[in-house]
Amino acid sequence: MAVTHEDIRPTISLDGARKARGNLTQARIRWMVLALVLGFGLVGARLVQLGMVEVDSRIEGQTRDAITATRPPILDRNGLEMAVDIRVPSLYAEPRRIIDVEEAVQKLRTVLPNLSEDWLRNRLSGDKGFVWVQRELSPSIQERIMRLGIPGIDFITESKRFYPGMSEASHILGSTNIDNQGISGIEKHMDNEAVALLQELGLARGNALTPVELSVDMRVQHVMHEQVLDAMTRYKAIAAAGVMMDIYTGEIVALASVPDFDPNDPKTALVKDTFNRITAGIFEPGSIFKTVTIAGALDSGSVRITDRFDARFGIRFGRFTISDFHGKNRILSLPEVYKFSSNIGTIRIMQAMGKENFRSFLTRVGFDTRVDFELPEMRLPTVPKDFSEVGAATASFGHGLSVSPLHMVTAYASFVNGGNYISPTLYKRDVAEAEPLYRRVLQPETSDAIRYLMRLNALEGSGSQMNKAALGYRTGGKTGTAEKVVDGRYSSSKVTNFFASAFPLDNPRYAMVIMVDEPKAENPQSGTTAGWNAGAITGRVVQRIAPMLGIAPNFSEILDKNLVPRVLR
């Protein structure tokens, strides 16, 4: 078949137009694909860029987790709450969102008139994303502010520490700052251990934290706090303090020091003289230190309980003569040296031991070092490294050196528990856990002799006021009346008094030290020495707490006779 020109032209024209349109479509598709790729690329790049930006979630220097973090409840040994977290609203502002600063200032001051107008105006001005206005408000204040309807003003729910016992255990618990961080006491110790880390990791939220159980018995703590507080009124003292320790576990059962503070209002801790005298105060201990000297001498074998010492005359050191406060001016047996609190007899006992051995014994009992204890408020004793003859003599009866009451109660615990030094603790610890930590400082027979001497002093010596108040709870101990240094000289009118004790001495379980700073006579018939105040307080504390601790009174003289060493019966 012949193909004419007319037959071919339309076909060529059709193919060319179709091809041109196809090319155009492909070009458009390519441009669209390219545009899509570029678009997605830009979006992806932006997403990557945004992903690399570190979002500032901090609130005026702190993370939100830290602000809202909680602390574990603190319980006493019987499960009573000593410290808990409560939830409180805190007011903050976002200045960049506040439309009318002046209006916001005036409205806020109708509810919070304590805020300075200028301070608040400066606070709410500018382009900041977050500023605190006032923290730890009451729910009623929060509601009143919310009704104001100010844009850029809102609340964060924070944790605030609450101490139900108020000041009763303030020196044990310490306190926290406005960011709920421990700043003193066991609260600070807990932060140093683990709580701060949990808060930093954001794990300390809500009520998930396991409660911390302390060794403290709040029933005993209440009595101890009440009695030392009473001492300031009864004896017109400038301060008083007391501590009680389980002699086998090292657990601190009670610890109080007044003047004290309310941990719910931490700024009250800044008031003068509110420091913890049990751990952060060091004092010349006076005659309670004679127990240390005699324990060391007996244990060294230098002296025996049956030995006698010449106390007829004072002992001269150069121009000075050391005498007894109530001198018997005769030869005294060792128990009489203790019972009459003879300085002369104690010096002779120390001299029999030798001043180097005496100094070494002080190291053995821990008077050179800080007591291993949880509270950060602690002072080191001041005990001369080497004793002169007169320095050793005065140190033997508790002068010329200074130690804390915590050092003394720890030493006394070791003297009556069979001779084992155990560091005190504020955490619960049973005997099985404590025994591997024991460090022997006395032989058991020396410990028995010290228990006898302490009970003897309660029955016949300066501890009689204490024994009378203890009402049959077989307590024993030693008085200490230390003259204070005023203007470089010892003052006979200003003294620090101590009574170091243990009970019940037929089956000892607890050691205690009570101190009263600058007491006055309670009445014209009483005195200012330690037996009248620190001793009497000890008796009153024992009389009230012994039933709580399951200890029954026993007036049987047989138990006292059983404490007498066989060589003296």
What is the reported pLDDT for 205?
57
What is the reported pLDDT for 181?
87
Q: Which residues contact 440 (CB under 8 A, 6 or more apart)?
A: 419, 420, 421
What is the reported pLDDT for 55?
42
Residue 294 CA to residue 528 CA, distance in Å, equals: 25
What is the reported pLDDT for 1?
42
What is the reported pLDDT for 534?
97
Contact 266, 183 (CB under 8 A): yes
What are residue 201's phi and psi, to 5 degrees? -80, -5
Residue 456 CA to residue 441 CA, distance in Å, equals: 23
Residue 208 CA to residue 470 CA, distance in Å, equals: 44
Side chain identity at 486, as an amino acid letter?
V
What are residue 316's phi and psi, to 5 degrees? -95, 135
Contact 379, 279 (CB under 8 A): yes
Q: Which stretches of 13-61 are assigned E, i.e. beta strand? A: 58-59
What is the reported pLDDT for 50?
45
Strand duo 131-134 + 476-486: pairing: unpaired
Residue 398 CA to residue 197 CA, distance in Å, equals: 44
In degrees, rounded to 5, the angle at the alpha carbon of residue 158 between the alpha carbons of residues 155 and 164 is 130
Q: Quickly count: other Cβ atoms within 10 Å of residue 212's Cβ.
A: 21
> DSSP letter string over 480-547?
EEEEEEETTEEEEEEEEEEEEEEE-TTS--EEEEEEEES---SSTT--SSGGGTHHHHHHHHHHHHTT
Tokens of 546: 């012994």
Side chain identity at 539, as an amino acid letter?
G
Q: Which stretches of 163-251 are assigned E, i.e. beta strand? A: 175-176, 182-184, 212-213, 239-246
Going from the C-alpha of 544 to that of each of 241, 245, 386, the distances in angstroms are 17, 16, 43
CA pseudo-torsion sign 334, 335, 340, 343 = positive
Residue 298 CA to residue 441 CA, distance in Å, equals: 12
Q: Which residues contact 310 (CB under 8 A, 6 or more apart)?
A: 331, 344, 348
Which ranges of 53-116 would DSSP assign to H, the alpha helix? 64-68, 101-111
What is the reported pLDDT for 2?
44
Question: pTM for the whole thing?
Answer: 0.84
What is the reported pLDDT for 242?
98
Positions of the chain with pLDDT under 50: 1-8, 10, 50, 53-57
Going from the C-alpha of 295 to that of each of 195, 298, 336, 338, 479, the distances in angstroms are 42, 5, 15, 11, 16
Which residue is listed with tokens 């060529």?
A: 12
What is the reported pLDDT for 4?
46
Strand duo 331-333 + 308-310: pairing: antiparallel
Tabulate helix, strand, coil % of the chain (nearest 5). Answer: 45, 20, 35
